[in-house]
């Protein structure tokens, strides 16, 4: 397809229509392309859609995988797949000499990239080629290599199964994460044993990632920094396969660990350096930038966070993220707009403010952000000096704490919510609340963040939020409206 063509045709019109209105229904597209939504035109659209889909799929063969900001292993994997495709065609045509030559080339690429599965395919086809050509010695040698590779692949498959099973458990509820936590040392030991046998990148990578997951669940973020720093050092020294090791993932985990270990200034400095390694068209770029923004907020560099968010929302792929991701961005933007109020609010900002204020007291799909949502609502009404709404949000926070924040791992959230209750006890007097909450604030500062399995996300650290609350009280206490009075 030539999408840049200026000649009008139905295929380009169809793509342009979907690009301009991604949520368009079938009948709307039919009307745009054919004028009337008749049954014949619907069938014409279906044929057109099938034709365009096949042409777009054909474009996948011409994608450029050489950009280092993409997953590094992709280009080498595609080289192997391309060769295997050609090899199978040549073999089917009976071109055994060319088949053997390309098989050796593909085998070298597979070994260089530690792609054991492709090495197995090459060895298996070599056995077939030598068998059909009655080359006994070469056949025996290829068979011996195939058996060794198959054993290695079996170890890799077992390592992948252990890792994938664990990831499935970690992807569900907090309860399932807690259940799998005591089992992780056993799984790690099993992966270590498999890696000692296989000594391949795949077994190393599963072990490395599961170790990071284990430290994350325990809240041992400083150990995560050590693990990622060690991996970076080994990569620089050439001890890790440069064709397979995902340096971007290592960067992402590193800045995440700095964020959670309360070292935002250093983490922000690294994030600025690492951001060039992520391609803006990938979903990984958005995940990285999410923590980049949080680091700026935790470092109290609110203007920098605002600049980052402006860049992020201008990315063409921003609106095609999942709904949950878009809502998180809206929540971050609402916090930034609160600490840096725009001189003139746009319609979108007013709409977003209403969205935040109308969110429910507790929502499972916003797990980890419920406290942040309720606190932002409270801050809004403290600034508005609306006594009734402030008391309502404080009561919701109290109920949320009783129902959901009763375990030891939620101590930071409980301490902060107790601090907020102090402002009512001291009749919204900033000086008295600061004095009364002094010991709780010290305890909060000494309490490390919990592991990821149990965490409420602190978009702005609770210590900074307490300063914001006291600042709002100094500007004026909440007042009852005439109707309330």
Distance CA 192, CA 204 (A): 8
Three-class DSSP category at 17: helix
Terminal Cα-to-Cα distance of the chain (whole angstroms): 70
Range scoring the smallest mean pLDDT among 26-30, 110-114, 243-247, 309-313: 26-30
Assess whether pLDDT exceeds 90 at residue 360.
Answer: no
C-beta separation of 359 from 373 below 8 A: yes
User: In which region does residue 385 sit, left (phi positive, over 0), alpha (psi from -120 to 50) or beta (all else)?
Assistant: left
Q: What is the pLDDT of residue 70?
A: 81
Residue pLDDT, tens place only, 22-80: 788 998 999 999 988 899 999 999 999 999 999 989 888 888 888 878 888 999 999 99
pLDDT value of position 451: 65
Residue 147: is its pLDDT beyond 60?
Answer: yes
3-state class (DSSP) for residue 244? coil
Q: Using CA atoms, how far apart are residues 477 and 321, in angstroms rounded to an integer? A: 40
**Assigned token pair, 263:** 């070292």
Separation CA 382–CA 15 (nearest Å): 49
pLDDT, average across residues 106-118: 97
Question: How far is 257 from 264, CA to CA, in rounded Å?
Answer: 10
Cα–Cα separations (whole angstroms), residue 30 to 2, 16, 22, 37: 22, 13, 14, 6
Rg from Cα positions in the chain? 29
Residue corresponding to tokens 């929302």? 313
- DSSP state string for 86-124: HHHHHHHTT-HHHHHHHHHHHHHHHHHTT-HHHHHHHHH
- Asked whether 264 and 276 are in contact (CB, 8 A), the reply is no
Q: How far apart are CA 36 and CA 373, in angstroms?
A: 47
**pLDDT recorded at residue 355:** 59
pLDDT of residue 457: 82
Beta bridge pairs of residue 151: none
Residues shown for the chain: 485
- pTM value is 0.81
Sign of CA dihedral 46, 48, 51, 56: negative
Contact 242, 230 (CB under 8 A): no
Instruction: Say what the pLDDT of residue 438 is.
Output: 94
pLDDT at site 485? 47
* % of the chain exceeding 70 in pLDDT: 92
Question: At residue 144, does pLDDT exceed 90?
Answer: yes
Three-class DSSP labels, 281-341:
CCHHHHHHHHHHHHHHHHCCCHHHHHHHHHHHHCCCCHHHCCHHHHHHHHHHHHHHHHHCC
Whether the predicted pLDDT of 365 surpasses 60: no
DSSP track, 181-221:
GGGHHHHHHHHHHHHHHH--HHHHHHHHHHHHHHHHHHT-H
pLDDT band at 454 (very low <50, low <70, confident <90, very high): low
pLDDT score, position 24: 87
Predicted local confidence at residue 418, as pLDDT: 93
Rounded to the nearest integer, the mean pLDDT of the chain is 89
Task: List the beta bridge partners of residue 479.
Answer: 386
Cα–Cα distance for residue pair 207/212, rounded to 1 Å: 9
Q: Which range, of 24-38, 90-104, 193-207, averages the lowest pLDDT?
A: 24-38
The CA-based angle 84-90-96, given to 5 degrees, is 105
pLDDT for residue 297 is more than 70:
yes
C-alpha span between 311 and 70 (Å, rounded)? 20
Residue 446: per-residue pLDDT = 93
Q: What confidence score (pLDDT) does residue 226 get?
A: 96
């Amino acid at each position: 397809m030539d999408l840049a063509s200026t000649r009008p045709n139905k295929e380009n019109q169809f793509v342009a229509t979907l690009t301009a209105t991604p949520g368009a229904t079938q009948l709307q597209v039919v009307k745009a392309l054919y004028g009337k939504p008749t049954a014949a035109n619907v069938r014409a659209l279906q044929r057109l859609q099938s034709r365009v889909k096949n042409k777009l799929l054909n474009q996948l063969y011409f994608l450029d995988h050489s950009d280092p900001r993409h997953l590094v292993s992709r280009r080498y994997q595609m080289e192997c797949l391309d060769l295997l495709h050609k090899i199978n065609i040549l073999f089917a045509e009976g071109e055994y000499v060319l088949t053997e030559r390309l098989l050796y080339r593909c085998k070298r690429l597979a070994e260089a990239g530690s792609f054991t599965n492709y090495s197995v395919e090459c060895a298996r086809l070599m056995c077939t080629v030598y068998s059909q050509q009655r080359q006994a010695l070469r056949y025996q040698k290829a068979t011996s290599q195939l058996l060794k590779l198959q054993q290695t692949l079996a170890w890799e498959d077992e390592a992948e199964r252990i890792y994938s099973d664990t990831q499935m458990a970690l992807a569900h509820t907090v309860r399932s994460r807690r259940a799998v936590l005591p089992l992780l040392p056993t799984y790690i030991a099993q992966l270590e044993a498999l890696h000692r046998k296989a000594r391949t990148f795949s077994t190393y990578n599963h072990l490395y990632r599961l170790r990071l997951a284990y430290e994350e669940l325990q809240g041992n973020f400083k150990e995560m920094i050590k693990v990622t720093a060690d991996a970076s050092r080994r990569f620089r020294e050439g001890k890790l396969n440069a064709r397979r090791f995902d340096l971007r993932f290592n960067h992402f985990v590193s800045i995440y660990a700095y964020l959670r270990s309360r070292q935002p200034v250093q983490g922000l400095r690294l994030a600025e350096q690492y951001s060039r390694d992520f391609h803006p068209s990938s979903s990984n770029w958005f995940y990285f930038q999410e923590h980049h923004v949080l680091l700026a907020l935790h470092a109290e560099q609110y203007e920098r966070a605002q600049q980052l968010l402006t860049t992020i929302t201008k990315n063409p792929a921003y609106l095609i993220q999942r709904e949950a991701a878009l809502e998180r961005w809206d929540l971050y933007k609402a916090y930034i707009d609160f600490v840096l109020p725009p001189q003139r609010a746009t319609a979108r900002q007013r709409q977003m403010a209403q969205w935040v204020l109308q969110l429910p007291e507790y929502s499972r799909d916003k797990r980890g952000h419920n406290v942040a949502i309720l606190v932002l609502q409270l801050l809004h009404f403290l600034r508005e000096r609306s006594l009734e709404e402030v008391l309502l949000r404080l009561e919701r926070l109290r109920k949320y704490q009783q129902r959901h924040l009763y375990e030891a791992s939620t101590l930071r959230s409980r301490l902060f919510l107790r601090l907020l209750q102090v402002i009512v006890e001291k009749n919204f007097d900033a000086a008295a609340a600061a004095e009364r909450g002094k010991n709780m604030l010290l305890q909060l500062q000494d309490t490390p963040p919990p592991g990821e399995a149990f965490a409420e996300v602190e978009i702005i650290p609770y210590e900074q939020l307490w300063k914001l609350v006291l600042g709002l009280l100094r500007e004026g206490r909440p007042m009852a409206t005439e109707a309330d009075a």
